[in-house]
Structures are given as C-alpha cells and as structure tokens.
Amino acid sequence: MIQTISTSHYLILAAALFCLGMLGVLIRRNALVVFMCIELMLNATNLTFLAFARERGDDLGHLSAFFIIAVAAAEAAVGLAIVISVFRARGTVNIEEIQSMKH
C-alpha cells in the first residue's frame, strides 16, 4: 500500500482552478483573456479526469484528457479566428462593446 496525497486534495485543487477560470470569464472584458480563462477551466477538467484515473487505476481517464487537449486546440484556433474577425469589423475586442446580437 502506498501512502499518497488523497484524491480529494486534487479535486479541491481542480475546483479552485475551475472557479478562478469562471471568475475570469465573468469579470474580464477582454475577449482574449476570456479565452485564456476558458483554457484554465478545461485544464481543471483534465485534472479531475487524471485524479479519478489514478483513484480507479484505469488510465482511460488519461485518454479523455488527451481528447480534451485536442478539442481545446480546435476551440482555440476557431475562437481566435473569430476574435480576429470581430476585431477587423469593430476595432475592439471588448466584449461589452460587441452586443449587436442583443435583440
């Protein structure tokens, strides 16, 4: 039996990371920083997958983390393209000034 840091420690760290990312999404106005905070939240999810993978001794959680990394890369590529396109049209990346889809 190996004495290690318990899974709940890792889960609380993941919760803290997710909440920091969520706080950033809610309070920041720069669209790029909002994207970075979404990456933080995705990383918190990865940490949860890896913590439970070790708890259960089943490394399929590692594969889930791998797929999340791949999807995050796709999300970053498309999202940043949209930011560039919006900046070209409006001259700003402030998400409070981009509200033409509001009714």
Partner 1 sequence: MNAEQVLFWLFSVCTLVAASGVIFARNPVASAMSLVATFFFLSGIYVLLWAHTIAALQVLVYAGAIMVLFLFVIMLLSLTDSGPVLHFTPSRIAGGVAVIALFVSLTAVFRKLPTAELTWVGDAAKLKNFGTIQHLGEVMYTQWLFPFEAVSLLLLVAILGAVVVAKPRI
CB of 99 to partner 1, least distance (A): 13
Question: Judged by CB under 8 A, how many residues of this single chain contact partner 1?
Answer: 72
Joined together, the tokens standing for residue 70 give: 């791949």
Decide if residue 97 touches partner 1 (CB under 8 A). no
Contacts with partner 1 in 22-81 (CB under 8 A)? 22-24, 26-30, 32-33, 35-37, 39-40, 43, 46-47, 50-51, 53-57, 59-60, 62-63, 65-67, 69-78, 80-81
Q: Is the CB of 10 or the CB of 98 nearer to partner 1? A: 10
Q: What residues contact residue 21 under an 8 Å CB cut-off, 6+ apart?
A: 37, 38, 39, 40, 41, 43, 44
